[in-house]
Amino acid sequence: MTSTGTTTLRLLFPQWQGGNNPPYVFGAQLLSWLAPEATGPVEQVSVSQPDGKPLEAEGGIVGRGALLAQLSDARRLIDKHQPDRLVVLGGDCLVDLAPFAYLNERYDGDLAILWVDTHPDVMTPKEYGNAHAMVMGNLLGEGDADFVKAVKRPIRPQNVMFAGRQDTLESLAEIREMEAAFFERLKLRSASPSDLANTSEPVLDWLRSINAKHLAIHFDLDILDPTLFRSLLFANPDPSSSVHDGIPRGRMTMDEIVRLFADVSRVVDVVGLGITEHLPWDSLALKTMLSKLPLLGSPPR
């Protein structure tokens, strides 16, 4: 049901501080190169580049100052074009905060959000210091005040559904209990990977129940099974890297995602799409190697 004759802004947002993960910069750049050519205006959010120094926690959030500056620049670029639709190529999950907040204003509070992510991203600085895990809570008007301030019109809880979400494992009991209480308090709807393996009906039923007219989709690539798609945080080939014990991995396939998105686009106007957390480990390794080769990289010392 996506209509034509409207402005679609493509926003390249290579933010890495929200997950404190510098490779997201290259992941966003490669994602932008791989994406089909834009049919409307394209802007790039100004992101401070990694300099090898560790990020500091400010008020319980790692990289707070840089994140807030980038959030402001994203909103400035969006307001410059005042688009009807937005495509966001990230970067960590926090890149969808300004775009989705704008879309809810643009559609007068009538925006629905489909959060396609293994994780709900509703934590606060009390549980975790990386802001990419807080963005959906911020869009609902909860969490750190500086980030919630960017959401002039919070999303209504009934207008949110989580697709492919899995419960945090019992080894992280505090986070698991916090997320369960959050979902119960706001009566948030969710469908697991197995619920969506062969049908999109749980999501379509939700869209019908709220009479949704405009939809923004957050697509965290970590929803994909890391044994089938390797360009993910949880597929880091470095054996010394953190394995994030207690954090569930994705279990969906690309075919399931394509079918789900096609089904919802037939019944609702898709006005936003954010794609996040692309970590192309093989390409990163190759890029590093090429930079060290004769005639290509820096001369040997």
**Is 70 exceeded by the pLDDT of residue 5?**
no
> Is 152:257 a contact under the CB 8 Å cutoff?
no
* Rounded Cα gap, residues 129 and 63, in angstroms: 9
Average pLDDT over residues 107-130: 96
Q: What's the confidence (pLDDT) of residue 159? A: 98
Q: Give the amino acid at 150.
A: A
Query: What digits encode the pLDDT tens for the residues 172-220?
Result: 888 889 999 999 999 999 999 999 999 999 999 999 999 999 999 999 9
Helices (H) and strands (E) in the chain, counts: 9, 10
The band of 2, judged by pLDDT with boundaries at 50, 70 and 90, is very low
Query: What digits encode the pLDDT tens for the residues 47-105?
Result: 999 999 999 999 999 999 999 999 999 999 999 999 999 999 999 999 999 999 999 99
Long-range contacts of 32-37 (CB under 8 A, 24+ apart): 32/89, 35/10, 35/87, 35/89
Domain architecture of the chain: domains with CATH: 8-290 (3.40.800.10)
